[in-house]
Structure 1
Amino acid sequence: MGASHSVNGKEAPYYYVPSFSGHPVRTSFAILIMLIGAVAWVNRVPYGNWVFLVGLLSLFIMLFFWFGDAIRESESGLNSKRIDDSYRWGMGWFIFSEVMFFAAFFGALWYAREVTTPWLSNLDHQLMLWPGFSGQWPNFGPAGIVQHFEIIGPFWLPTINTVLLLTSGLTLTLSHHALRASKRGSSIFWLFLTVALGFTFLYLQAVEYMHAYSDLNLRFDSGIYGSLFFMLTGFHGFHVLLGATILTIILLRLIRGHFTADHHFGFEGAAWYWHFVDVVWLGLYLFVYWF
Protein backbone atom coordinates (compact mmCIF):
# COMPACT_ATOMS: atom_id res chain seq x y z
CA MET A 1 0.00 0.00 0.00
CA GLY A 2 3.05 2.25 -0.24
CA ALA A 3 2.72 5.68 -1.75
CA SER A 4 6.05 7.49 -1.54
CA HIS A 5 9.74 7.03 -0.90
CA SER A 6 10.16 10.15 1.19
CA VAL A 7 8.15 12.64 3.16
CA ASN A 8 9.07 16.33 3.36
CA GLY A 9 12.42 15.60 1.77
CA LYS A 10 13.37 13.01 4.40
CA GLU A 11 14.82 9.89 2.80
CA ALA A 12 13.36 6.54 3.77
CA PRO A 13 15.62 3.96 5.45
CA TYR A 14 17.45 1.46 3.24
CA TYR A 15 15.11 -1.28 4.38
CA TYR A 16 12.34 -0.80 6.92
CA VAL A 17 11.51 -3.79 9.13
CA PRO A 18 8.11 -3.29 10.80
CA SER A 19 7.50 -4.28 14.40
CA PHE A 20 5.77 -7.53 15.30
CA SER A 21 2.09 -7.48 14.36
CA GLY A 22 -0.89 -9.56 15.40
CA HIS A 23 -2.85 -8.67 12.28
CA PRO A 24 -2.02 -11.87 10.32
CA VAL A 25 -3.11 -14.16 13.18
CA ARG A 26 -6.28 -12.22 13.91
CA THR A 27 -7.16 -12.05 10.22
CA SER A 28 -6.63 -15.82 9.91
CA PHE A 29 -9.03 -16.43 12.79
CA ALA A 30 -11.60 -14.13 11.18
CA ILE A 31 -11.37 -16.10 7.92
CA LEU A 32 -11.65 -19.38 9.86
CA ILE A 33 -14.82 -18.20 11.59
CA MET A 34 -16.22 -17.04 8.27
CA LEU A 35 -15.54 -20.41 6.59
CA ILE A 36 -16.98 -22.38 9.52
CA GLY A 37 -20.10 -20.24 9.31
CA ALA A 38 -20.30 -20.77 5.54
CA VAL A 39 -20.07 -24.56 5.92
CA ALA A 40 -22.71 -24.51 8.65
CA TRP A 41 -24.94 -22.23 6.58
CA VAL A 42 -24.97 -24.41 3.45
CA ASN A 43 -25.63 -27.48 5.64
CA ARG A 44 -28.58 -25.71 7.27
CA VAL A 45 -27.04 -25.65 10.75
CA PRO A 46 -28.90 -23.14 12.95
CA TYR A 47 -27.22 -19.72 13.17
CA GLY A 48 -24.64 -20.70 10.54
CA ASN A 49 -25.47 -17.56 8.57
CA TRP A 50 -24.86 -15.39 11.63
CA VAL A 51 -21.51 -17.05 12.32
CA PHE A 52 -20.55 -16.35 8.69
CA LEU A 53 -21.54 -12.69 9.01
CA VAL A 54 -19.57 -12.34 12.27
CA GLY A 55 -16.50 -13.78 10.53
CA LEU A 56 -16.96 -11.50 7.52
CA LEU A 57 -17.36 -8.42 9.71
CA SER A 58 -14.29 -9.45 11.74
CA LEU A 59 -12.30 -9.83 8.53
CA PHE A 60 -13.10 -6.31 7.40
CA ILE A 61 -12.30 -4.91 10.84
CA MET A 62 -8.90 -6.64 10.80
CA LEU A 63 -8.19 -5.39 7.28
CA PHE A 64 -9.14 -1.85 8.34
CA PHE A 65 -6.50 -1.81 11.08
CA TRP A 66 -3.93 -3.64 8.94
CA PHE A 67 -4.37 -1.23 6.05
CA GLY A 68 -4.19 1.65 8.51
CA ASP A 69 -0.77 0.54 9.78
CA ALA A 70 0.56 0.13 6.24
CA ILE A 71 -0.74 3.58 5.26
CA ARG A 72 0.86 5.22 8.30
CA GLU A 73 4.19 3.53 7.48
CA SER A 74 3.98 4.84 3.93
CA GLU A 75 3.00 8.38 4.90
CA SER A 76 5.77 8.46 7.52
CA GLY A 77 8.35 8.06 4.79
CA LEU A 78 9.42 4.54 5.81
CA ASN A 79 8.91 2.89 2.42
CA SER A 80 12.08 3.01 0.33
CA LYS A 81 12.48 1.79 -3.24
CA ARG A 82 13.42 -1.61 -1.85
CA ILE A 83 10.17 -1.79 0.12
CA ASP A 84 8.29 -0.74 -3.01
CA ASP A 85 9.85 -3.68 -4.87
CA SER A 86 8.84 -6.00 -2.03
CA TYR A 87 5.24 -4.82 -2.30
CA ARG A 88 5.25 -5.46 -6.03
CA TRP A 89 6.65 -8.99 -5.69
CA GLY A 90 4.24 -9.74 -2.87
CA MET A 91 1.23 -8.56 -4.84
CA GLY A 92 2.37 -10.48 -7.89
CA TRP A 93 2.69 -13.76 -5.98
CA PHE A 94 -0.63 -13.14 -4.24
CA ILE A 95 -2.41 -12.76 -7.57
CA PHE A 96 -0.63 -15.88 -8.84
CA SER A 97 -2.02 -17.83 -5.86
CA GLU A 98 -5.48 -16.52 -6.74
CA VAL A 99 -5.00 -17.71 -10.33
CA MET A 100 -4.26 -21.21 -9.01
CA PHE A 101 -7.29 -21.01 -6.71
CA PHE A 102 -9.70 -20.33 -9.55
CA ALA A 103 -7.87 -22.75 -11.85
CA ALA A 104 -8.82 -25.54 -9.43
CA PHE A 105 -12.52 -24.69 -9.66
CA PHE A 106 -12.42 -24.27 -13.43
CA GLY A 107 -10.67 -27.63 -13.60
CA ALA A 108 -13.40 -29.20 -11.46
CA LEU A 109 -16.04 -27.78 -13.81
CA TRP A 110 -14.25 -29.18 -16.86
CA TYR A 111 -13.69 -32.58 -15.25
CA ALA A 112 -17.31 -32.94 -14.11
CA ARG A 113 -18.70 -31.90 -17.49
CA GLU A 114 -16.27 -33.46 -19.95
CA VAL A 115 -14.98 -36.54 -18.10
CA THR A 116 -17.20 -37.71 -15.24
CA THR A 117 -20.62 -37.17 -16.81
CA PRO A 118 -19.92 -39.10 -20.06
CA TRP A 119 -18.06 -41.79 -18.12
CA LEU A 120 -20.94 -42.45 -15.69
CA SER A 121 -23.47 -42.53 -18.54
CA ASN A 122 -21.85 -45.43 -20.43
CA LEU A 123 -23.67 -48.74 -20.62
CA ASP A 124 -21.72 -50.49 -17.86
CA HIS A 125 -22.38 -47.80 -15.29
CA GLN A 126 -26.02 -47.45 -16.30
CA LEU A 127 -26.60 -51.19 -15.75
CA MET A 128 -24.63 -51.56 -12.53
CA LEU A 129 -24.46 -48.25 -10.68
CA TRP A 130 -26.48 -45.48 -12.26
CA PRO A 131 -29.68 -46.83 -13.84
CA GLY A 132 -31.41 -44.23 -15.96
CA PHE A 133 -28.54 -41.76 -15.72
CA SER A 134 -28.29 -39.38 -18.68
CA GLY A 135 -24.97 -38.01 -19.87
CA GLN A 136 -26.31 -34.51 -20.37
CA TRP A 137 -24.99 -31.39 -18.69
CA PRO A 138 -26.36 -30.32 -16.33
CA ASN A 139 -27.95 -33.49 -15.00
CA PHE A 140 -30.28 -34.38 -12.16
CA GLY A 141 -28.41 -37.46 -11.01
CA PRO A 142 -29.57 -41.10 -11.28
CA ALA A 143 -33.32 -41.59 -10.96
CA GLY A 144 -33.80 -37.87 -10.37
CA ILE A 145 -32.00 -37.70 -7.02
CA VAL A 146 -31.49 -33.96 -7.51
CA GLN A 147 -34.62 -31.82 -7.54
CA HIS A 148 -35.45 -30.35 -10.91
CA PHE A 149 -33.88 -26.94 -11.50
CA GLU A 150 -33.31 -24.52 -14.36
CA ILE A 151 -29.97 -23.03 -15.28
CA ILE A 152 -29.18 -19.34 -15.67
CA GLY A 153 -28.32 -18.34 -19.23
CA PRO A 154 -26.16 -15.40 -20.27
CA PHE A 155 -29.12 -13.03 -20.78
CA TRP A 156 -29.56 -10.63 -19.30
CA LEU A 157 -28.06 -10.10 -15.86
CA PRO A 158 -24.76 -11.95 -16.53
CA THR A 159 -24.25 -9.97 -19.74
CA ILE A 160 -25.05 -6.69 -18.01
CA ASN A 161 -22.59 -7.59 -15.24
CA THR A 162 -19.96 -8.38 -17.86
CA VAL A 163 -20.41 -4.93 -19.38
CA LEU A 164 -20.21 -3.37 -15.92
CA LEU A 165 -16.93 -5.09 -15.03
CA LEU A 166 -15.32 -4.42 -18.41
CA THR A 167 -16.35 -0.77 -18.14
CA SER A 168 -14.92 -0.61 -14.62
CA GLY A 169 -11.60 -1.86 -15.97
CA LEU A 170 -11.64 0.97 -18.50
CA THR A 171 -12.54 3.65 -15.93
CA LEU A 172 -9.82 2.35 -13.59
CA THR A 173 -7.25 2.60 -16.39
CA LEU A 174 -8.38 6.16 -17.14
CA SER A 175 -8.03 7.01 -13.45
CA HIS A 176 -4.50 5.57 -13.42
CA HIS A 177 -3.47 7.55 -16.49
CA ALA A 178 -4.92 10.72 -14.96
CA LEU A 179 -2.92 10.13 -11.75
CA ARG A 180 0.28 9.61 -13.74
CA ALA A 181 -0.44 12.93 -15.48
CA SER A 182 -0.91 14.65 -12.09
CA LYS A 183 -4.62 15.27 -12.79
CA ARG A 184 -5.89 14.33 -9.36
CA GLY A 185 -9.44 15.60 -9.86
CA SER A 186 -9.91 13.55 -13.00
CA SER A 187 -8.34 10.52 -11.32
CA ILE A 188 -10.75 10.81 -8.39
CA PHE A 189 -13.74 11.01 -10.74
CA TRP A 190 -12.82 7.90 -12.74
CA LEU A 191 -11.94 5.92 -9.62
CA PHE A 192 -15.24 6.86 -7.98
CA LEU A 193 -17.03 5.61 -11.09
CA THR A 194 -15.04 2.36 -10.90
CA VAL A 195 -16.09 1.77 -7.29
CA ALA A 196 -19.74 2.53 -8.16
CA LEU A 197 -19.65 0.02 -11.03
CA GLY A 198 -18.13 -2.62 -8.75
CA PHE A 199 -20.82 -2.32 -6.10
CA THR A 200 -23.52 -2.24 -8.79
CA PHE A 201 -22.14 -5.57 -10.04
CA LEU A 202 -22.52 -7.01 -6.52
CA TYR A 203 -26.10 -5.77 -6.26
CA LEU A 204 -27.06 -7.38 -9.56
CA GLN A 205 -25.37 -10.63 -8.56
CA ALA A 206 -27.47 -10.66 -5.38
CA VAL A 207 -30.58 -10.17 -7.55
CA GLU A 208 -29.43 -13.08 -9.72
CA TYR A 209 -28.99 -15.34 -6.68
CA MET A 210 -32.45 -14.52 -5.37
CA HIS A 211 -33.89 -15.29 -8.80
CA ALA A 212 -32.00 -18.59 -8.91
CA TYR A 213 -33.25 -19.70 -5.50
CA SER A 214 -36.85 -18.48 -5.66
CA ASP A 215 -37.73 -18.91 -9.36
CA LEU A 216 -35.37 -21.53 -10.81
CA ASN A 217 -34.89 -23.79 -7.77
CA LEU A 218 -31.16 -23.59 -8.47
CA ARG A 219 -29.46 -24.06 -5.13
CA PHE A 220 -26.10 -24.97 -3.69
CA ASP A 221 -27.29 -28.58 -3.32
CA SER A 222 -28.52 -28.83 -6.93
CA GLY A 223 -26.02 -31.54 -7.76
CA ILE A 224 -22.53 -30.88 -9.09
CA TYR A 225 -23.83 -28.10 -11.33
CA GLY A 226 -25.34 -26.12 -8.46
CA SER A 227 -22.28 -26.58 -6.26
CA LEU A 228 -19.85 -25.44 -8.94
CA PHE A 229 -22.07 -22.58 -10.07
CA PHE A 230 -22.28 -21.05 -6.61
CA MET A 231 -18.67 -21.84 -5.71
CA LEU A 232 -17.31 -20.16 -8.85
CA THR A 233 -19.65 -17.17 -8.99
CA GLY A 234 -19.80 -16.81 -5.19
CA PHE A 235 -16.05 -16.77 -4.67
CA HIS A 236 -15.69 -14.37 -7.57
CA GLY A 237 -18.33 -12.13 -6.01
CA PHE A 238 -16.39 -12.21 -2.74
CA HIS A 239 -13.27 -11.12 -4.63
CA VAL A 240 -15.25 -8.29 -6.22
CA LEU A 241 -16.37 -7.23 -2.73
CA LEU A 242 -12.77 -7.21 -1.49
CA GLY A 243 -11.57 -5.41 -4.62
CA ALA A 244 -14.27 -2.75 -4.40
CA THR A 245 -13.48 -2.25 -0.70
CA ILE A 246 -9.77 -1.84 -1.43
CA LEU A 247 -10.53 0.60 -4.24
CA THR A 248 -12.74 2.58 -1.86
CA ILE A 249 -9.80 2.92 0.53
CA ILE A 250 -7.57 3.95 -2.38
CA LEU A 251 -10.18 6.53 -3.40
CA LEU A 252 -10.19 8.04 0.10
CA ARG A 253 -6.39 8.15 0.08
CA LEU A 254 -6.43 9.76 -3.35
CA ILE A 255 -8.83 12.43 -2.10
CA ARG A 256 -6.49 13.10 0.84
CA GLY A 257 -3.55 13.51 -1.53
CA HIS A 258 -1.54 10.46 -0.47
CA PHE A 259 -0.42 9.57 -4.00
CA THR A 260 1.84 11.33 -6.48
CA ALA A 261 2.42 10.80 -10.17
CA ASP A 262 5.67 8.92 -9.48
CA HIS A 263 4.89 6.97 -6.32
CA HIS A 264 1.48 5.30 -6.02
CA PHE A 265 1.90 1.56 -5.74
CA GLY A 266 -1.12 1.35 -3.43
CA PHE A 267 -3.17 2.42 -6.43
CA GLU A 268 -1.32 0.13 -8.83
CA GLY A 269 -1.61 -2.95 -6.60
CA ALA A 270 -5.37 -2.45 -6.25
CA ALA A 271 -5.62 -1.97 -10.02
CA TRP A 272 -3.72 -5.24 -10.67
CA TYR A 273 -6.15 -7.07 -8.42
CA TRP A 274 -9.21 -5.49 -10.07
CA HIS A 275 -8.03 -6.38 -13.57
CA PHE A 276 -7.45 -9.95 -12.39
CA VAL A 277 -11.05 -10.05 -11.13
CA ASP A 278 -12.19 -8.82 -14.55
CA VAL A 279 -10.32 -11.59 -16.37
CA VAL A 280 -11.72 -14.29 -14.06
CA TRP A 281 -15.24 -13.04 -14.72
CA LEU A 282 -14.73 -13.33 -18.47
CA GLY A 283 -13.84 -16.99 -17.94
CA LEU A 284 -16.92 -17.48 -15.79
CA TYR A 285 -19.15 -15.73 -18.29
CA LEU A 286 -18.00 -18.03 -21.09
CA PHE A 287 -17.69 -21.40 -19.35
CA VAL A 288 -20.53 -21.14 -16.82
CA TYR A 289 -23.21 -19.14 -18.61
CA TRP A 290 -22.53 -19.92 -22.30
CA PHE A 291 -20.93 -23.36 -22.66
Structure 2
Amino acid sequence: MATTQQPDYFVPAPSWWPFKGAVALFGIGLGAALLVNSVPFSWVPLAIGIAILLWMLFGWFGDVIRESEGGVYSKRVDISFRWGMGWFIFSEVMFFAAFFGTLYYLRSISVPELGNMEHKILWPDFKAMWPMSVAPNGTEPYQVMGPWGLPAWNTLILLTSGVTLTWAHWGMMENKRGQLKLGLLLTVLLGALFLGLQVYEYAHAWGDLGLTMASGVYGASFYMMTGFHGMHVFIGALMLAVMYFRSVKGHFTAEHHFAFEAAAWYWHFVDVVWLILFVFVYWL
Protein backbone atom coordinates (compact mmCIF):
# COMPACT_ATOMS: atom_id res chain seq x y z
CA MET A 1 0.00 0.00 0.00
CA ALA A 2 1.30 3.44 -0.89
CA THR A 3 2.29 5.75 1.98
CA THR A 4 2.35 9.05 0.13
CA GLN A 5 -0.58 10.87 -1.37
CA GLN A 6 -1.12 10.17 -5.03
CA PRO A 7 -1.41 13.12 -7.43
CA ASP A 8 -4.14 11.51 -9.52
CA TYR A 9 -7.42 9.74 -8.85
CA PHE A 10 -6.90 6.57 -6.82
CA VAL A 11 -8.12 3.37 -8.48
CA PRO A 12 -8.47 0.51 -5.97
CA ALA A 13 -7.50 -3.04 -6.79
CA PRO A 14 -10.24 -5.52 -7.81
CA SER A 15 -12.24 -6.59 -4.77
CA TRP A 16 -14.60 -9.38 -3.78
CA TRP A 17 -16.46 -7.21 -1.25
CA PRO A 18 -19.28 -6.18 -3.64
CA PHE A 19 -19.92 -9.84 -4.51
CA LYS A 20 -19.99 -10.77 -0.82
CA GLY A 21 -22.44 -7.93 -0.20
CA ALA A 22 -24.69 -9.23 -2.97
CA VAL A 23 -24.65 -12.73 -1.43
CA ALA A 24 -25.50 -11.20 1.95
CA LEU A 25 -28.47 -9.27 0.57
CA PHE A 26 -29.73 -12.37 -1.24
CA GLY A 27 -29.61 -14.33 2.01
CA ILE A 28 -31.39 -11.59 3.92
CA GLY A 29 -34.09 -11.24 1.24
CA LEU A 30 -34.59 -15.00 0.98
CA GLY A 31 -34.71 -15.48 4.74
CA ALA A 32 -37.13 -12.59 5.25
CA ALA A 33 -39.45 -13.89 2.50
CA LEU A 34 -39.45 -17.36 4.03
CA LEU A 35 -39.91 -15.97 7.54
CA VAL A 36 -43.06 -13.99 6.73
CA ASN A 37 -44.49 -17.16 5.17
CA SER A 38 -43.70 -19.19 8.33
CA VAL A 39 -41.32 -21.57 6.55
CA PRO A 40 -39.37 -23.74 9.02
CA PHE A 41 -35.71 -22.79 9.56
CA SER A 42 -36.19 -19.56 7.60
CA TRP A 43 -34.00 -17.86 10.20
CA VAL A 44 -30.96 -19.77 8.88
CA PRO A 45 -30.50 -17.90 5.54
CA LEU A 46 -31.54 -14.68 7.30
CA ALA A 47 -28.89 -15.09 10.01
CA ILE A 48 -26.24 -16.13 7.48
CA GLY A 49 -27.06 -13.11 5.30
CA ILE A 50 -26.80 -10.71 8.25
CA ALA A 51 -23.49 -12.28 9.34
CA ILE A 52 -22.03 -11.97 5.83
CA LEU A 53 -23.28 -8.37 5.59
CA LEU A 54 -21.57 -7.43 8.86
CA TRP A 55 -18.38 -9.15 7.70
CA MET A 56 -18.55 -7.27 4.41
CA LEU A 57 -19.12 -3.91 6.12
CA PHE A 58 -16.24 -4.33 8.56
CA GLY A 59 -13.91 -5.63 5.87
CA TRP A 60 -14.76 -3.16 3.12
CA PHE A 61 -14.79 -0.08 5.33
CA GLY A 62 -11.63 -1.37 7.00
CA ASP A 63 -9.91 -1.37 3.61
CA VAL A 64 -11.11 2.19 2.95
CA ILE A 65 -9.84 3.34 6.36
CA ARG A 66 -6.43 1.75 5.77
CA GLU A 67 -6.23 3.37 2.33
CA SER A 68 -7.17 6.74 3.80
CA GLU A 69 -4.66 6.51 6.63
CA GLY A 70 -2.05 5.29 4.14
CA GLY A 71 -2.33 8.57 2.25
CA VAL A 72 -3.36 7.17 -1.12
CA TYR A 73 -6.37 9.47 -1.49
CA SER A 74 -5.81 12.71 -3.36
CA LYS A 75 -7.90 15.88 -3.28
CA ARG A 76 -9.88 14.54 -6.21
CA VAL A 77 -10.88 11.49 -4.19
CA ASP A 78 -11.83 13.73 -1.27
CA ILE A 79 -14.10 15.76 -3.55
CA SER A 80 -15.61 12.53 -4.90
CA PHE A 81 -16.35 11.34 -1.37
CA ARG A 82 -18.03 14.63 -0.55
CA TRP A 83 -20.21 14.51 -3.64
CA GLY A 84 -21.11 10.91 -2.87
CA MET A 85 -22.13 11.68 0.71
CA GLY A 86 -24.01 14.75 -0.45
CA TRP A 87 -26.07 12.74 -2.93
CA PHE A 88 -26.64 10.01 -0.36
CA ILE A 89 -28.08 12.54 2.10
CA PHE A 90 -30.17 14.01 -0.72
CA SER A 91 -31.62 10.55 -1.35
CA GLU A 92 -32.46 10.35 2.35
CA VAL A 93 -34.14 13.76 2.12
CA MET A 94 -36.32 12.42 -0.70
CA PHE A 95 -37.01 9.28 1.34
CA PHE A 96 -38.46 11.27 4.22
CA ALA A 97 -40.09 13.76 1.85
CA ALA A 98 -42.21 10.88 0.56
CA PHE A 99 -43.41 10.17 4.10
CA PHE A 100 -44.17 13.81 4.82
CA GLY A 101 -45.98 14.03 1.50
CA THR A 102 -48.04 11.01 2.50
CA LEU A 103 -48.84 12.62 5.85
CA TYR A 104 -49.96 15.79 4.08
CA TYR A 105 -52.18 13.77 1.74
CA LEU A 106 -53.76 11.93 4.66
CA ARG A 107 -54.40 15.01 6.77
CA SER A 108 -55.38 17.54 4.12
CA ILE A 109 -56.96 15.45 1.34
CA SER A 110 -57.86 11.89 2.29
CA VAL A 111 -59.41 12.39 5.75
CA PRO A 112 -61.54 15.41 4.70
CA GLU A 113 -62.64 13.51 1.59
CA LEU A 114 -63.74 10.50 3.65
CA GLY A 115 -65.75 12.80 5.90
CA ASN A 116 -67.92 14.30 3.19
CA MET A 117 -71.54 13.36 2.59
CA GLU A 118 -70.72 10.97 -0.24
CA HIS A 119 -68.80 8.69 2.13
CA LYS A 120 -71.26 8.85 5.03
CA ILE A 121 -72.90 5.70 3.69
CA LEU A 122 -69.68 3.75 4.23
CA TRP A 123 -68.72 5.24 7.60
CA PRO A 124 -71.67 7.13 9.08
CA ASP A 125 -69.85 7.76 12.40
CA PHE A 126 -66.58 8.85 10.85
CA LYS A 127 -65.34 12.30 11.91
CA ALA A 128 -63.01 14.12 9.56
CA MET A 129 -60.48 15.32 12.11
CA TRP A 130 -56.76 14.81 12.73
CA PRO A 131 -55.32 13.23 14.71
CA MET A 132 -57.99 10.57 14.50
CA SER A 133 -59.01 9.10 17.85
CA VAL A 134 -60.56 5.91 16.47
CA ALA A 135 -60.10 3.72 13.43
CA PRO A 136 -62.63 4.24 10.59
CA ASN A 137 -64.66 1.18 11.62
CA GLY A 138 -64.93 2.51 15.17
CA THR A 139 -64.01 -0.80 16.79
CA GLU A 140 -60.44 0.01 17.83
CA PRO A 141 -60.41 3.07 20.09
CA TYR A 142 -57.00 4.45 21.02
CA GLN A 143 -55.36 7.56 22.38
CA VAL A 144 -53.07 9.71 20.27
CA MET A 145 -49.49 10.41 21.31
CA GLY A 146 -49.07 13.95 22.65
CA PRO A 147 -46.01 16.12 22.01
CA TRP A 148 -44.99 16.73 25.61
CA GLY A 149 -43.31 14.25 27.89
CA LEU A 150 -41.08 11.69 26.18
CA PRO A 151 -41.25 13.24 22.66
CA ALA A 152 -40.20 16.63 24.03
CA TRP A 153 -37.39 15.05 26.07
CA ASN A 154 -36.17 13.17 23.01
CA THR A 155 -36.19 16.42 21.04
CA LEU A 156 -34.00 18.02 23.71
CA ILE A 157 -31.69 15.00 23.68
CA LEU A 158 -31.17 15.14 19.91
CA LEU A 159 -30.61 18.90 19.97
CA THR A 160 -28.04 18.43 22.73
CA SER A 161 -26.34 15.68 20.71
CA GLY A 162 -25.92 18.14 17.84
CA VAL A 163 -24.17 20.53 20.24
CA THR A 164 -21.83 17.85 21.60
CA LEU A 165 -20.96 16.75 18.06
CA THR A 166 -20.16 20.31 17.03
CA TRP A 167 -18.06 20.66 20.19
CA ALA A 168 -16.16 17.51 19.20
CA HIS A 169 -15.58 19.01 15.73
CA TRP A 170 -14.14 22.16 17.27
CA GLY A 171 -11.83 20.01 19.38
CA MET A 172 -10.53 18.23 16.30
CA MET A 173 -9.94 21.47 14.40
CA GLU A 174 -8.01 22.87 17.39
CA ASN A 175 -6.09 19.61 17.94
CA LYS A 176 -7.75 19.01 21.31
CA ARG A 177 -7.96 15.24 21.16
CA GLY A 178 -9.61 14.87 24.56
CA GLN A 179 -12.43 17.23 23.55
CA LEU A 180 -12.85 15.35 20.27
CA LYS A 181 -13.16 11.96 21.97
CA LEU A 182 -15.37 13.17 24.80
CA GLY A 183 -17.71 15.01 22.42
CA LEU A 184 -18.08 11.94 20.20
CA LEU A 185 -18.66 9.65 23.18
CA LEU A 186 -21.34 11.96 24.60
CA THR A 187 -23.05 12.14 21.20
CA VAL A 188 -23.16 8.35 20.88
CA LEU A 189 -24.51 8.00 24.43
CA LEU A 190 -27.20 10.61 23.76
CA GLY A 191 -28.18 8.72 20.62
CA ALA A 192 -28.46 5.50 22.63
CA LEU A 193 -30.55 7.32 25.25
CA PHE A 194 -32.87 8.61 22.51
CA LEU A 195 -33.40 5.07 21.20
CA GLY A 196 -34.00 3.71 24.69
CA LEU A 197 -36.66 6.33 25.38
CA GLN A 198 -38.25 5.65 22.00
CA VAL A 199 -38.56 1.95 22.87
CA TYR A 200 -40.17 2.95 26.17
CA GLU A 201 -42.48 5.33 24.30
CA TYR A 202 -43.55 2.54 21.93
CA ALA A 203 -44.25 0.21 24.85
CA HIS A 204 -46.35 2.91 26.52
CA ALA A 205 -48.24 3.74 23.32
CA TRP A 206 -48.88 0.07 22.46
CA GLY A 207 -49.77 -1.17 25.93
CA ASP A 208 -51.34 1.84 27.68
CA LEU A 209 -52.77 3.97 24.88
CA GLY A 210 -53.93 1.15 22.62
CA LEU A 211 -52.01 2.76 19.74
CA THR A 212 -50.87 -0.04 17.42
CA MET A 213 -50.04 -0.46 13.75
CA ALA A 214 -53.70 -1.48 13.29
CA SER A 215 -55.00 1.77 14.81
CA GLY A 216 -56.16 3.21 11.54
CA VAL A 217 -54.02 5.39 9.34
CA TYR A 218 -52.83 7.46 12.30
CA GLY A 219 -51.21 4.47 14.01
CA ALA A 220 -49.67 3.21 10.78
CA SER A 221 -48.21 6.61 9.85
CA PHE A 222 -47.00 7.26 13.41
CA TYR A 223 -44.99 4.04 13.69
CA MET A 224 -43.80 4.16 10.10
CA MET A 225 -42.35 7.68 10.32
CA THR A 226 -40.95 7.56 13.83
CA GLY A 227 -39.73 4.00 13.35
CA PHE A 228 -37.76 4.78 10.21
CA HIS A 229 -36.31 7.83 11.93
CA GLY A 230 -35.26 5.64 14.86
CA MET A 231 -33.51 3.31 12.41
CA HIS A 232 -31.58 6.30 11.05
CA VAL A 233 -30.63 7.36 14.57
CA PHE A 234 -29.28 3.83 15.15
CA ILE A 235 -27.25 3.95 11.92
CA GLY A 236 -25.96 7.44 12.73
CA ALA A 237 -24.95 6.37 16.25
CA LEU A 238 -23.05 3.39 14.77
CA MET A 239 -21.23 5.71 12.38
CA LEU A 240 -20.27 8.06 15.21
CA ALA A 241 -19.18 5.11 17.37
CA VAL A 242 -16.78 4.12 14.59
CA MET A 243 -15.53 7.71 14.50
CA TYR A 244 -14.99 7.57 18.26
CA PHE A 245 -12.89 4.39 18.11
CA ARG A 246 -10.94 5.81 15.18
CA SER A 247 -10.24 8.98 17.15
CA VAL A 248 -9.02 6.85 20.06
CA LYS A 249 -6.55 5.22 17.64
CA GLY A 250 -5.28 8.68 16.66
CA HIS A 251 -7.08 9.07 13.34
CA PHE A 252 -8.24 12.45 11.97
CA THR A 253 -6.43 15.75 11.79
CA ALA A 254 -7.62 19.29 11.11
CA GLU A 255 -6.67 18.80 7.44
CA HIS A 256 -7.73 15.16 6.98
CA HIS A 257 -11.06 14.15 8.51
CA PHE A 258 -13.75 13.69 5.89
CA ALA A 259 -15.09 10.48 7.48
CA PHE A 260 -15.85 12.47 10.61
CA GLU A 261 -17.51 15.20 8.56
CA ALA A 262 -19.64 12.68 6.66
CA ALA A 263 -20.91 11.13 9.90
CA ALA A 264 -21.57 14.61 11.31
CA TRP A 265 -23.55 15.64 8.20
CA TYR A 266 -25.67 12.53 8.56
CA TRP A 267 -26.28 13.13 12.27
CA HIS A 268 -27.31 16.75 11.78
CA PHE A 269 -29.65 15.62 8.99
CA VAL A 270 -31.25 13.13 11.42
CA ASP A 271 -31.66 15.97 13.95
CA VAL A 272 -33.45 18.19 11.44
CA VAL A 273 -35.78 15.37 10.37
CA TRP A 274 -36.75 14.78 13.99
CA LEU A 275 -37.59 18.44 14.51
CA ILE A 276 -39.96 18.30 11.53
CA LEU A 277 -41.40 15.01 12.81
CA PHE A 278 -41.96 16.47 16.26
CA VAL A 279 -43.91 19.40 14.82
CA PHE A 280 -46.07 17.59 12.25
CA VAL A 281 -46.47 14.13 13.83
CA TYR A 282 -46.65 14.95 17.54
CA TRP A 283 -47.53 18.63 17.90
CA LEU A 284 -49.89 19.80 15.12
The verdict on a shared fold, with TM-score over 0.5 as the criterion, is: yes
Contact 1:161 1:201 in 2 (8 A): yes
8 Å contact from structure 2 (residues 136, 216) kept in 1: no
1:189-235 alpha-carbon deviations (Å, 9 max, x no partner): 11111111111111111111111111112112222111111111111
Which runs of no fewer than 5 residues in structure 1 stay unpaired? 1-5
Tell me, what secondary structure is at the counterpart of 1:149? coil
Match of 1:111 among 96, 105, 128: 105
Residue aligning to 1:177: 170
Partner of 2:237: 244
Q: CA RMSD for the aligned pairs?
A: 2.7
The equivalent residue for 1:3 is none
2:115 paired with 1:134:
no
Between the aligned partners of 1:126 and 1:256, the Cα distance in structure 2 is: 66
Alpha-carbon distance in structure 2 between the residues aligned to 1:258 and 1:214: 46
1:272 is aligned, of 261, 265, 280, to 265
After superposition, give the CA deviation of every residue in 1:141-180 in whole Å (9 maximum; x if it has no partner).
43325x1111111121111111111000001001101101
Q: Secondary structure at the match of 2:8?
A: coil
| Residue identity matched to 1:206 | V
1:102 paired to 2:96: yes
Deviations 1:101-151 (A, max 9, x none): 000001101101111000111001113x33332212233343325x11111
Identity, % of aligned pairs?
Answer: 52
Letter of the 1:74 counterpart: S
1:235 matched residue in structure 2 = 228
Of 70, 76, 88, which residue of structure 1 is paired with 2:82? 88
Q: Which moved more, 1:202-211 or 1:56-65?
A: 56-65
Could you tell me which amino acid in structure 2 is paired with residue 159 of structure 1?
A
User: In the alignment, is the contact (CA less than 8 A) between 2:9 and 2:74 conserved in 1?
Assistant: yes
Give the residue type in structure 1 aligned to 2:95. F
* Aligned counterpart, 2:159: 166
Shift of residue 30 of structure 1?
A: 4.6
1:192 matches 2:185: yes
- Maintained 8 Å contact 1:171/1:194: yes
1:76 aligns with 2:42: no
For the residue of structure 1 that corresponds to 2:127, the secondary structure is: coil
C-alpha change, 1:221 and 1:61, in structure 2 (3 Å) is farther
Q: Structure 1: how far apart are the matches of 2:40 and 2:102?
A: 30
Normalised to the residue count of structure 1, the TM-score between the two structures is 0.87
The answer to whether the aligner puts 1:211 opposite 2:204 as a matched pair is yes
Asked if structure 2 preserves the Cα contact closer than 8 Å seen for 1:37 and 1:50, the reply is yes
1:248 deviates by: 0.5
Does 1:284 find its partner at 2:258?
A: no
TM-score norm. by structure 2 comes to 0.89
Distance 1:189 1:157 in 2: 26
Report deviation, 1:51.
Answer: 8.0
Total equivalences in the alignment: 281
Q: What's the CA shift for 1:52?
A: 11
What amino acid is the match of 2:104?
W
The unaligned stretches of length 5 or more in structure 2 are none
Work out which structure has the larger RCO, using CA pairs closer than 8 Å and 6 or more positions apart in sequence: 1
> Are the equivalent residues in 2 in contact too, given 1:131–1:143 (CA < 8 A)?
no
In the TM superposition, residue 185 of structure 1 has moved relative to its aligned partner by 1.4
Write out per-residue CA displacement over residues 8-31 of structure 1, whole angstroms, 9 at most, x where no aligned residue. Answer: xx2325111123334345445655
